[in-house]
Structures are given as C-alpha cells and as structure tokens.
Structure 1
C-alpha cells in the first residue's frame, strides 16, 4: 500500500529510533516511580498523565520513525501529516504527561532559565515557532534540509524545542507561573493560527510544484538515500522517481499537504480556544458571585 511493500521492515519502522523512544519511555517511568522520592514535592502520577505521555511518545514515533516518516519522503502530503503530528499533537501531549513536580524541578535546575527564559514569552514563542516552520518550507531551504542528513536532524530538534516553547505559553504546566488571563491566552492562540496562514497559503495556491524533493527524480533519490539502504542509484533504476509512489500529481499533492497542515492547526487550536474560553468564563463567573459559599449553603 502506497509503495510500502517495496521497503524493508527496518526502513519502515526505524528500529534504532524505536529503541531510543523506548529508552526515553523507560526513563520516564523510572523517574516517576522508583526515583520519585528524590524530588521535592513528588507525588503519585495519575494514570491519565501516564496515558498522555505514552500517547505523545507513540505519536512522535509514528511521525518521525514509522511509515509516515518514510512516506513523507515520497509525498508532500505525508510530510505535512508528519509535521502536524510531531509539533501540534505530540508536543502538548508530552508536556501534559509530565507531572507538575517534575516540571518544577526542571525549572529550578535549568541553567539557561535566566539567559534564555525570554524565549518562552507568548508572542516571541509564537513568532519563533511559526517563523521557523515557515522558513523551513521555503523551497530552497526545504530541499537543502532534506538533502543534508545532519542539518535535517538538527532543524527538526530546533523545531521541537520551539514547539515546546510555543505550547508552554498556552498550557503552562506549572500553575504558580501561569500569569496569563484567559483572554490573553485566547489572543495568543489566535495569533498562532494567523502566523502560519501565509506559509500554508503559499503552498496551497502555488501554480507550480515548489519542492524538487517531490518532483525531481535525482533530488528525490538523494533525499531518500538517508531512509533506505539501497542507495540513490538503485532507487532511480528501480522506481524512476517519486511519481512511482504518488497517487496524486506533485502540484495536487502539494496543495493537499498545505490543506492538511492548516486543517490540523485549525482543529487543534480551535479546540484549545474553546477549552480556554470555557475555563476563563467559568472562573470569571465564580469570582463575580456575590454570596460566599457558606451563606449560599445556609440559605
């Protein structure tokens, strides 16, 4: 299906990356379990938080190590699915899956807190993440990153850190540090929705395919060479180019990718807007209640 049958199990499922993710997951359970007593204020972690963290790890693995990652090298639409899963779905799940007492510890021992703490400011974090995401999808930058393995890895790590900063401003897992009002958070979420629109619009409404990685056979084969063991020459002789795998022509595939990214973003941030508005409205009503609880009970 979608050409996956032409690739080996290792090429589809990235065993080394899977081992790394399992190691991180094991470390998480060791820290919140046997080692938790070493952390000030530690308490048992709920099943809900554990499920959130496991879900975040699973989504991240599927996006960056599973078949979706491989398909992201043959079709731009799957590339955008991978990006959305990594930075709009997995990141908030991972943040929410880590207990508050562990976040407090990280915040206390973080050596860069004083020097780089400004990066977590809402507007700056929104501009940073969306700017890096948009810059990555300039055609020349995207093709360069896809063709250089270590640049590709480094850029994805930087994007992940930027997505943590962006989501941190929305979620803020340390309650005593959450100084933003509900209205400010809604404005910040709306800002994120707006900032990504130009890049998605450029991708969707472009008259021609923008990325050589998905339209030029030689460029595609070189980019794919980092994912498979057969090498660029063998890929070209066996498949001829990315069109062998695509059920859409490059221009349509590109447009679908842009729509997918914008759809993911709109659904996720619209849900966050509704969540923040509900809790803000509820808190405002509680503060406006003129009768103390004991009087209400007495009556």
Structure 2
C-alpha cells in the first residue's frame, strides 16, 4: 500500500501544481476568466477518478459487507475530487491570479476542502484494487521494503505532518516567496503542489492513519493548534496597515477593487472560514469517537438481562 500512498501524494500534488496560473502583463491590465482545462490536470484528474471507480466496483462485487461505509467513502472522494477540479480548472484559477482574496479561496479549497475529503474517501485502499491481481502482489511486496516504508512512516508521524503543514503555510505567505510565486510559473507550481501535499499528509494523521492504534488525542491537538496559528496568519493579513503583495495592485485595481481591502478580505477568508473548517473536523472526530465508544443495543440487553438474572438468583438464595 505504501507505493500507492506515495503515488497518490505525487499524483494529487502534481495535479495541484501543473496549472498554477500566473497572469501575463496583458492579463494584468485586462484580465480574462474562463475554464482552463489544462491537459495535464484533466488527464490526472480523469486517471484518479477512473481508478477509484474501477477499484470501488471491484470491491463492491467482491463483498457485500460494509457497503454503506464504502458508499460514504465514495461520496467523500467524489466531493473532494470535485473541489479539486473547481480549484484548478474553473474560472477561480484565473481569478486567483488577479485577486488575492480569490487566491486565498483557491488555497483553502485545496487544503481544507479537497484534502480532507480525499483522505476520508480512502483512495489508497480503493485504488490498489483497480490494478490487476498480479500487479497488486508486486505492490504488496514492494511496500515491505524499508526504503519505502520508513519515509512514509516519518512523513505521516503527527508531529512531522503538523510541522510540514505549518511550515508550508507560513513560508509561502512570506512576501518574498509569495511574490516570487506570482512572478514565476515554476515557483507557483511548487507552491500549489506543496500546499496540497502538506494538507494531505496533515489530514491523513487526523482521519486516515488508524494503523498505529492511536487514541486520537493528537488529532484534536493538531486541529486546535493549526486553527490557532492559521487564524493568527489570517489576522495579520487582515489587520496589516499596508500591502504585503504589491504584485496584486495592478490587477486588483483593473477590476475596480481596492488592493488593501482585497488583502483584508483574503485574510478574513483564512481567519474565519478557515478556522471553521478545523472546528468541523474536530466535531467529526468527536462524533467518530462517540460512535465507537457507544455500546450496541444488543450489548445493553445482555447487561440488563444478566443483571435481572443475578438479582433474581440473589432473591431466591
């Protein structure tokens, strides 16, 4: 499964980066917006969706057990796939190059909508079933090697994933790096890919990594602390007295918006809706804990019946 895990991270990260849109000089004066349909992005999205569909159908035919759970996973993956498509191929991508606030919406969709939904969809376990049986055996043998297993274990350690996600977020919003991403397509590609890959690893430690038997306290701690530091970054952007990213002045003014107000709106997007996403994640995690700890009705009946039998026996004695 590890090679599939590494492949999904690379696949989605590449899809998140190959079409990082940067406005040309003409576009900054008179921006044009529309669906982009970058061939590489479309190809990767179609490949990921097709593999999931094939794997899901094979698993569904193989066993009738847990069909409801698989249906939930399918719905989650489909919604995450759709969010990824909207973030990368819709007019939002072109608008993000002209407005900082739209750029923040795009980043939040990648990190707080697409990434957690894709993780909940369990694509790693489903995709492997899309391959022929002979290839599945080869993949299983390959993932047992320490050269593949150890890097994955390190990257998905809660602290490592948290630090990577935080470093990516704060580092890319430093003016020097954000401005470089706006000016150069290759750096913009790296920015989008690192946002998505870091978010996938982070949300994996929250919703996907159940193999280590962790009780989940680290997941709530990760969500809370991430909400705090991302909220702090959003507040800094919102309350800043001056512009952090002068490259947006021309394009924002061409659309009739005040550049500083656009920056403040982008900060609010990260601060409020972004923080709400982590709260929702924490509530979902708490609901899952309660569902696991709640006794089943049959167990309750057994306990009641047992108590009744013991009480009757005591009276008879």
**Do both proteins adopt the same fold according to a TM-score greater than 0.5, normalized to the shorter chain?**
yes
* Separation (CA, whole Å) in 1 of partners of 2:194 and 2:50: 24
- Please list the CA deviations of residues 132-154 of structure 1 after superposition, one character each: whole Å capped at 9, or x if unmatched: 11110111100101211122212
Written as runs of structure 1 = structure 2, the 5 A alignment for 1:142-161 is 142-161=178-197
SS of alignment partner, residue 73 of structure 1: helix
The residue aligned with 1:80 is 104
The residue aligned with 1:275 is 284
The residue aligned with 2:268 is 259
Shift in Å, 1:84: 0.5
Shift in Å, 1:49: 2.0
Aligned mate of 1:129, from 165, 176, 183:
165
Q: In structure 2, do the counterparts of structure 1 residues 103 and 265 end up closer, same or farther at CA, with 3 Å as the change threshold? A: farther
* Separation (CA, whole Å) in 1 of partners of 2:234 and 2:263: 10
The structure with more radius of gyration: 2
Q: In structure 2, do the counterparts of structure 1 residues 273 and 13 end up closer, same or farther at CA, with 3 Å as the change threshold? A: same
Q: In structure 2, do the counterparts of structure 1 residues 250 and 83 end up closer, same or farther at CA, with 3 Å as the change threshold? A: same
Matched length: 263
User: Do structure 1's residue 22 and structure 2's residue 22 form an aligned pair?
Assistant: no
* Separation (CA, whole Å) in 1 of partners of 2:281 and 2:157: 18
Task: Please say if residues 243 and 249 of structure 1, whose CA atoms lie closer than 8 Å, have aligned partners that are also in contact.
Answer: yes
Written as runs of structure 1 = structure 2, the 5 A alignment for 1:39-54 is 46-54=70-78
Structure 2 residues without counterparts, runs of 5 or longer: 1-27, 129-135, 309-317
* Separation (CA, whole Å) in 2 of partners of 1:295 and 1:87: 45
SS of alignment partner, residue 164 of structure 1: helix
Structure 1 residues without counterparts, runs of 5 or longer: 218-240
* Separation (CA, whole Å) in 2 of partners of 1:244 and 1:99: 42
Shift in Å, 1:161: 1.4
* Separation (CA, whole Å) in 1 of partners of 2:124 and 2:304: 34
* Separation (CA, whole Å) in 1 of partners of 2:33 and 2:288: 48
RMSD over aligned CA atoms reads 3.4
* Separation (CA, whole Å) in 2 of partners of 1:59 and 1:77: 18
Task: Please say if residues 182 and 277 of structure 1, whose CA atoms lie closer than 8 Å, have aligned partners that are also in contact.
Answer: no
**With structure 1 as the length reference, what TM-score do the two structures score?**
0.75
User: Do structure 1's residue 71 and structure 2's residue 95 form an aligned pair?
Assistant: yes
Aligned mate of 1:185, from 215, 219, 226:
219
Q: In structure 2, do the counterparts of structure 1 residues 138 and 107 end up closer, same or farther at CA, with 3 Å as the change threshold? A: farther
Aligned mate of 1:242, from 241, 249, 252:
252
- Please list the CA deviations of residues 268-287 of structure 1 after superposition, one character each: whole Å capped at 9, or x if unmatched: 11112222234435655659
